Amino acid sequence: MNNTIPYKIYLEEHEMPRQWYNVRADMKKKPEPLLNPATLQPMTEDELSQVFCRELARQELDETTAYIDIPEEIRDFYRMYRPAPLVRAYCLEKKLQTPAHIYYKFEGNNTSGSHKLNSAIAQAYYAKKQGLKGVTTETGAGQWGTALSMACSYFDLDCQVYMVKCSYEQKPFRREVMRTYGAQVTPSPSMKTAIGRKINEEFPGTTGSLGCAISEAVEAAAAQDGYRYVLGSVLAQVLLHQSVIGLETKVALDKYGVKADIIIGCAGGGSNLGGLISPFVGEMLRGEADYQIIAVEPASCPSLTRGKYAYDFCDTGKVCPLQKMYTLGSSFIPSASHAGGLRYHGMSAIVSELYDQGLLEARSVEQTAIFEAAQNFARIEGILPAPESSHAIRVAIDEALRCKETGEEKNIVFGLTGTGYFDMYAYQSYNDGQMGDYIPTDAEIAESLAKLPKL
C-alpha cells in the first residue's frame, strides 16, 4: 500500500476549478451543429433562446472558448458539496489482489445523490439572472429532477418536473424529495400538455418514457411566460458544466503525481462521461498525453456500440432540435432496466464525435453483471452505488482483473456518479434472484434505425 496517497484526496476549496473547460475548443473537427427541425438549418442563438435561457444558448453554441468563468454564486453553491473526493479504492484493490491502482471520483455526496447537481445549479443560476420565473424539465430515474429542485429552491425559482410515470409510481420517495424542495412533480404523459394528451389517447395506460417527458416539458415551458426548458444531459452546455468533475479529478491526480492510464465512465446521455474525460481528452487533442478511455453503456440500450452516427431527434415528440449523434433511433424504446438514467436512445454530440474520432472506446454490459459488481463494491468499499454508476464499476473491476493477469500496475480512474439509495427495488430484484438481462435483437434496432429522419 502506498501510504503517501490517502484513501480520499480532498482538494482545498482554493484548489477548486474557477473555470469550466469547453473541450470543443480543442477539437479540430467539431460536432455537427444542432438543426432546426422545421428548416433543417443550424439553430441560431435566437432560436435556441426561445427554448433555453440566453446565456445557456450562448454556451451551447460556443465552440471556441476553451475556458469559461464559473460565476461566484455558482462557486458558492459548489462549495456546499464540492470538492468531491477522489477515492483510492485500497480495499477493492486488496480484495481483487490486483497490482492496479484504482481511483474513483465520487459524486454522490449530495442530496440529489449524483453529479447532476453540477449542471442544475448552473442552469438555475442563468435562468434566475435572466429574470425568469421558473423552469420545466423531465426526469426519469429522478436524479436530475431532484438536482434541479434543489438548485431552483436555492435561487427561489419555480420548478416543474415531468416525471416518467412508471418512475413516479415506483419511486414515490424521489418524488417526495423533489416536493420537499418545493418542486411541482407531474407524472408523464399528463393531461396538462397537448403532446401528453395525444400520447395518452394513442397509448392508453402507457407508463411513459423519457423522450415523451422531454416533449411535455418543452411544451410546458413555451406555454408559460417567464419559463424556459432545461435538460440534464446530452447538451454541450451540460458537458461544459460537468467538466468540473474531470478538472477536479485532474488536479487531485496531479497533486499526488499520479498519471491515469485508463479512465472509465458510464454513458447514458453522456453528461458524466463527457465531464469526467473532458480535460484528459483535451490533453490528447493537444498531443500532450494519451489515455485509454472507456465509455460503458447498458447492453439493453447500446447507442455507441450498436447505434448509428446520424442526425436524429432528441425526443419522442420531435419538438427538439435534430442532433448528429450515435443513436438507436428516437422510436427505440429501451427495455425496462434498472439504470433509468442510461435509458436514452441517443448520446451527447460531443461524446459521439470523440468516439467517431477514435478517442474513446465503448463497451456494453449486462444488467446482472452490473449488479454483481455493485453488490461487491458496496460490501468492499462501503458505498452503495447507483445502477448507472455500477456500469463503470463493472469495467473497472474487469480491467483491474486483467492487470492481475498481466501483472501491470496501471492507474485506473472511474467516475462513481452517485448512490443507489432510491434504487432499492432494483437491489431487491437482484437479492431475490429475480433480475434478468434484456438485449435488443438486431431486428429491433434495425427497425428503429430505419425510421431515422431523412435529411
Q: Which residues bind a copy of itself (CB under 8 A)?
A: 6-8, 10, 12-13, 76-77, 79-81, 90-91, 109-111, 113, 150, 153-154, 172-173, 176-177, 179-182, 375, 378-384, 419, 421-422, 424-425, 427-428, 431
Strand partners, 414: 104, 264
Q: Nearest distance from residue 363's CB to a copy of itself, in Å?
A: 25
CB closer to a copy of itself, 8 vs 451: 8
Q: Helix count (H) and strand count (E) of the chain?
A: 18, 15
CB closer to a copy of itself, 105 vs 345: 105
CB closer to a copy of itself, 216 vs 381: 381
Question: What is the CA 176 to chain-centroid distance, rounded?
Answer: 22
CB closer to a copy of itself, 242 vs 330: 242
User: In what side-by-side order are the strands of the sheet with 262-266?
Assistant: 8-9, 86-88, 101-106, 411-416, 262-266, 292-298, 361-365
In this structure, the number of other CB atoms found within 10 A of the CB of residue 85 comes to 20
Cβ-proximal residues to 178 (8 Å cutoff; 6+ apart), any chain = 142, 145, 146, 149, 159, 161, 163, 185
CB closer to a copy of itself, 305 vs 376: 376
Q: Nearest distance from residue 380's CB to a copy of itself, in Å?
A: 8
Q: Nearest distance from residue 237's CB to a copy of itself, in Å?
A: 22
Q: Nearest distance from residue 424's CB to a copy of itself, in Å?
A: 4
C-alpha 228/C-alpha 49 separation (Å) is 9
Strand duo 322-327 + 308-313: pairing: antiparallel
CB closer to a copy of itself, 42 vs 172: 172
Strand duo 101-106 + 86-88: pairing: antiparallel
C-alpha 437/C-alpha 300 separation (Å) is 8
Q: Nearest distance from residue 138's CB to a copy of itself, in Å?
A: 21
Q: What φ, ψ does residue 364 adopt, rounded to 5°?
A: -115, 145
- C-alpha distances in Å from residue 85, one per residue of 7, 46, 416: 9, 39, 10
CB closer to a copy of itself, 143 vs 448: 143
C-alpha 309/C-alpha 395 separation (Å) is 24
Q: Nearest distance from residue 210's CB to a copy of itself, in Å?
A: 23
CB closer to a copy of itself, 379 vs 451: 379
Q: Nearest distance from residue 314's CB to a copy of itself, in Å?
A: 30
Q: Nearest distance from residue 181's CB to a copy of itself, in Å?
A: 6
